[in-house]
Structure formats: structure tokens, C-alpha cells
Amino acid sequence: MGFVITRDALDELSPISNAAMENRTVVEWDKDDLDALGILKIDVLSLGMLTCIRKAFDLLDEHYQRPMVLADVPRDDPGAYAMIQKGDTIGVFQIESRAQMSMLPRLRPANFYDLVIEIAIVRPGPIQGDMVHPFLRRRQKLEEVEYPSEELRAVLEKTLGVPLFQEQAMKIAMVGAGFTAAESDQLRRAMATFKRTGDIGNFRIKFIKGMINRGYDPDFAERCFKQIEGFSDYGFPESHSASFALLAYASAWLKCHYPDVFAAALLNSQPMGFYSASSIIRDFQEHGGIALPVDINKSDWNYTLEPSGQASPYYYLRLGLRQVNGLKEGAAESILANRGEGYDSVRDLYFRTGIDMKSLEDLARADAFRSLGLDRRAALWAIKGISGHTGRRGALEDLPLFEAAHQSTLTLQHEQEMALPSMPLGQHVVEDYASLRLSLKAHPMSFIRPRLNRIGARRATDLEQCKNGQILHIAGLVLVRQRPGTAAGVIFMTLEDETGTSNVIVWPKTFETYRRFILSARLVLVKGEMQKEQGVIHIIAKQIEDLSEDLAMLTEEGAQEKSGFKKALAKPSLWRHPRSTQVMPKGRNFH
């Protein structure tokens, strides 16, 4: 988000037009035009994590009677840093990506400045400039810290002699290569416009020659300039990293000490970050939390916290109506406004709220009538009874008074007494994902685990006991696919099974062989080589198989016990979800 500041009204100085967002306008000139005209431009980052932290502080005050602002977060908390060092950072600002999680156990941040470095080091500049591994070796005391000169010691001492920040690159240009302040500013401008003009290459010879003439090693000079080119792709100054580190630490502290508060705030701030609501809730459960289903008598629009008594050290996390696919906020507001002491039937909800039939069905498909003793199938049956007696799928005001409701009471009672066939657990899970994009009942992988066990596939939690270099199979739902521009075509996949997550690395040649599976499969089986280093585990993929069709078996009762797994897919099933392989998460793609 950018702001411009002028003495006169902006529309008298610059052409402006409507933006895509309502009540927003944009200046049609770019930043270089504004600079040429002498108009001040200010960039303001609108970060979702700021919203999340504010909501977390509100919940902290409400449920734990601990009023806080950002400045009140305790500094240098050992528990928060221990969690960070393990890479236990799902949902934590800036350090939740696969690359950051892999770096955390190696760098092991122990204080705030370590966190500043951690955030800055997984960036194109340091990576392309080959600064990451030298810094890690020095950090781990595997390599002696040396400074090319006393002049550069002052520039590089905080980062163990390795330039990591944009400011350091600029200071090296002045101190090490002899650039004047004006030339350094020109270099900064070239860095900022590299993608569009490519002017930064014009400084290469002067920069490297300048450093060599002052006695610096040619290889060091070359790596320094490569880093500057990397910053041209994405510059990251120290001050920027420090600001981000503050939010990273605050969110880590909240996650460490109040995982219930953090999970609720994070879910109420979606969409943001790398992970879906399903992954965030799963992570909360792995930290000892208990999540409760969405319910018409207990859920608000947002996720809420409920007392747990002795059942859990944290508050229960209640799913909000916002999680129900297709349900509009207006319908939810009507449900909350008219709920009072609670609804005692589907009909009661319908008459008191006046919501439309579609909203009722959305709630039923989300299994939100359990407090009435109705599962989703029974609730849908009751709704069909209402719509059948009204003769249309209209609103309450379309009914011919309330007489028809009374006349239909006996018929409805008869319908409710009918014994509907029970819905298999697997079908409930499929319907949960279709209506809520998550399930609290079971993980889809648990249903096909017997088959995976027969072929020797490992679970995510088994990988800790596996040996480095071991060839093994791992299967899971595809959560995230990443293809960073600095990774030379390498794909990083995060898989999830019923025990946790695992990370898979796909080299370009393997990707070309299994491109279709990698890009489209919901569920994959990977054969690969175990890679374990300093607590970081990856699987180097050799072969990849698409098992998405196996998800169709979730809709067949007892399917997980059948030996002829693929054969059973052809067997007709009245209640099989026709989109059972499509309702599962597609996986989120990042570049």
C-alpha cells in the first residue's frame, strides 16, 4: 500500500482512477514518475499478522485477564526461543515456511538479533551471493570468523564477517569498493529497478575492481556483488528485518504460552500465511488443545474459546460459523441475534431466524445440528421435510401463515422417527472437507493406513527413527508446493498424514517425470531417500504415485478393511460422494 503527500489536492496533480476494491483509488503514475515530480511517496505494509496479534491480545484480556500491547510481550523468553529452535513455527509470522523451518534448527536463534538474521538470511540476496552456508559454518563454530579488513569489520561484525543485509552491501560498496555517496545512491536505485532496467550490471566492473585494488580477495568481491544482484531481485534491509522480527517473536511467544488464543486469533484473521484452517487446528491439537465442532447453538461467527475444566490446560477452541462453506455472514448474524437460550429443532431455527433454505442446508452439510441430536443426514432429512411442506424453497414470509406448520407436525414426527441408514465415518470426513475444508472426526489418511502399512509406507512420526540415506515410502495429503525462484527449479512439497507433516524435495528431472502428479494430486505416495541433518528431515523424491482415487474409499463403510482396495472403487455406493477426490485440499502453491 502506498501513500503520496502533496500540498494541493491529489486529483489536481495526478490522474487517479478507481481501484478494484470498493472505495479505493490508485495513482496512475509509478514511483519513478512521482520521484521526478518531487512528490513524496510512502509505502505502508498492511500485514495480516498485525490484525492477528491485536485479536490475540483481545482474547488474552477476555479469557486470561492479561491486558497487553505489543510492547508488553516479555523479552528473551526461553520457552519461545526453544520452540523456534525446533522449527515448531506453524502460523508464526515470517518463519513458518518450509525453508525457514529447515533453517531454524541450524541457526538456532537464541535472542532477538538472531531472529533478525534468521528472517533476512532465507532471501534471494544472501542465497544468490552464497552467504548462507559460510554464515552457518561460522555460527556453528565450524569455521573461523575472519574479516577482510579492519574497515569492513565494523560493517560485518554483527553478522560474523558475512554480509546479509542490504545496508551492509551498500556500505561495502563505499568502504570496500571506494564508491562515493552519490555512486552508492545510484547503485541503490539500480538495485531497486533491476527487474525493469537491468542497470545494476553497469556497476559490476567498477565494484569488483574497486575491491581488488584495495586488496580484497577477488572471490569475496564477486560474492559481494552477487549478493547485491540478489538484493535487486528482493532487497531486504536490516531495519525491515528487525520490524518483522518483532512480529515474529510476538507471534511465537503467543503460540508458545497461549496456543488456544493464538490459534483462535489466527483462524479469525484468515486468509493469511502458508497454512489452511485444517493445518492450524491440527497443530493446536498436537500442542494439547481440543477443538470443538461448529454448532448452531454454540458457535459464533468467529472462532471462540470455551472453558475446558480439567480436560485440557487450554481453553477449548470452538469452530466459528465463518468456517461453513457457503454460509453468508448475514444469515449467521440472524442465527446469533435470535438464538436466546438456544434452538430446539431445525423447524425452530427456521421460523425464528427466517434464514433461507440454502443456509439451512449449508449448516446441515457442515454437521452443525449435533446439539439437537441430529447428524448431517438427519438434519438434511428434516430440512427436506420443511421445504416439502412449504411447497417451495422460499423465506418464512412466503409461508401461508403458521397453520401449515401445525398441520404438518404429525407428519414430521413420523418422518423423524424413520430409521435412516447410518453414514459411514469416512463419508462424514468427506462431507466435512466439502463443507468445512477440515474434519475433527478423523484424518483421511487413517482410513487408507492399512493399505499403506502393507506396502511398508512410513508415517510422518516414524521418520525420526529412520536412518540418513535410507530408501523409504511416505504418503500424505499435499498441503503446500513451493518453487522458489532461487531454487533452480527444485520443488518443495509438504505432505500431511494422520500423525504430522513431512517435507519432500523434488529435483527438476524428477519433476519433469512426475509433473502431472505433483501439480494436481491431492494424495501422493513418494518413494525417496531419507536426508537427515541437524534435526532437519527431508525426503528426496525418486518416484511419485498419485493415490487421489483412494480417497473415494472414504465413502464406503468398512472400505479401509478391504484387501482389494482399487477393485472396491468400482463397486457402486448410494452414499459415495461424487467429488470425494476433489473435496480434499488441493494444496497451496507458492513461488
Tens digit of each residue's pLDDT (9 = 90 or more) over 453-466: 999 999 999 998 99
How confident is the model at residue 271, as a pLDDT?
A: 86
Looking up cell 455406493 gives 573
C-alpha cell at 125: 540476496
Same domain, 455 and 364: no
- The single-letter DSSP state of residue 292 is E
pTM of the model as a whole: 0.82
- What is residue 577's predicted lDDT score, i.e. its pLDDT? 47
Asked if 545 and 525 touch (Cβ cutoff 8 Å), the reply is yes
Best CA proximity match to 500, nearest among 90, 96, 107: 90
Please state, rounded to an integer, the average pLDDT across all residues of the chain: 82
> In the predicted model, what is the mean pLDDT of residues 235-245?
85
The gap from C-alpha 562 to its chain's centroid, in whole angstroms, comes to: 35
**Is residue 584's pLDDT more than 80?**
no
What contacts 587, CB < 8 A, 6 or more positions away? 477, 478, 479, 480, 481, 493, 522
Statement: residue 43 has pLDDT above 80 = no
- Does 400 have pLDDT greater than 60? no
281 three-state secondary structure: helix
Residues 400, 328 within the same domain: yes
Say how many domains are in the chain: 3
What's the CATH code of the domain at 470?
A: 2.40.50.140
The answer to whether residue 163 is domain-embedded is no
pLDDT in tens, 342-376: 999 999 999 999 899 999 999 999 999 999 999 99
Using pLDDT thresholds of 50, 70 and 90, give the confidence band for residue 13.
Answer: confident
Give, in order, the Cα–Cα distances in Å from 356 to each of 351, 352, 353, 377, 448: 10, 12, 9, 19, 38
Summarize the confidence of residues 160-185 as an average pLDDT.
Answer: 84
Q: Are 555 and 580 in contact (CB under 8 A)?
A: yes
Same domain assignment for residues 373 and 507: no
Q: Which position has the higher pLDDT, 335 or 310?
A: 335
Question: What per-residue confidence (pLDDT) applies to 32?
Answer: 75
User: Please, which contacts does 325-328 make with residues 24 or more away whose CB atoms are closer than 8 Å?
Assistant: 325/362, 325/365, 325/366, 325/434, 325/435, 325/436, 325/437, 326/358, 326/362, 326/435, 327/359, 327/362, 327/363, 327/366, 328/359
The DSSP bridge partners found for residue 494 are 480, 503
Q: Does residue 10 lie in a domain region?
A: yes
Domain identity same for 368 and 455: no
Does 183 map to a domain? Answer: no
Q: Is the pLDDT assigned to residue 535 strictly greater than 90?
A: no
Please check the confidence at residue 575 and state whether its pLDDT lies above 50. Answer: no
On the question of pLDDT at 401 being above 70, the answer is no
* pLDDT of amino acid 561: 41
pLDDT tens track for 435-453 = 999 999 999 888 889 889 9
What pLDDT does 194 receive?
46
222: in domain: no
Stronger pLDDT, 76 or 483, i.e. the higher one: 76
Residue 19 inside a domain? The answer is yes
Q: Which domain holds residue 23?
A: 2-44
pLDDT higher than threshold 80 for residue 123 = no
Residue 415, pLDDT score? 46
| One domain for residues 494 and 404 | no
* 406 belongs to a structural domain: yes
382 shares a domain with 320: yes
CB-CB neighbours of 386 under 10 Å = 21
Considering only 35-44, 292-301, 522-531, 556-565, which range has the smallest mean pLDDT?
556-565
Residue 352 shares a structural domain with residue 465:
no
Compute the average pLDDT of residues 156-181: 85
pLDDT exceeds cutoff 50 at 82: yes
**Rounded-to-integer distance, Cα 190 and Cα 188, Å:** 5
Residue 333 CB neighbours (<10 A) = 14
User: What was the pLDDT predicted at 230?
Assistant: 63
β-sheet bridge partners, residue 475: 525
Question: Does residue 566 lie in a domain region?
Answer: yes
- pLDDT above 70 (res 591): no
Residues 327 and 457 in one domain: no
584, 501: one domain: yes
CA–CA distance, 578 with 560 (Å, rounded to integer): 18
Sole residue written with cell 520443488: 491
Query: By mean pLDDT, which of 302-311, 502-511, 526-535 is the weakest?
Result: 526-535
410 and 455 co-located in one domain:
no
Range with top average pLDDT, 97-106, 223-232, 395-404 = 97-106
CA dihedral 189, 195, 201, 204 (to 10 degrees): 60
Bridge partners for 588 per DSSP: 480
Shared domain for 557 and 484, answered yes or no, is yes
Residues 567 and 516 in one domain: yes
Q: Is the pLDDT of residue 8 over 60?
A: yes
3-class state of residue 77 by DSSP: coil
* Domain-embedded: residue 306: yes
Is 532 in a helix, a strand, or coil? strand
What's the pLDDT tens digit per position in 469-526?
999 999 999 988 888 665 667 888 899 999 888 999 999 999 999 988 888 888 899 9
pLDDT of residue 390: 53
Query: Does the structure show a pLDDT above 90 at 39?
Result: no
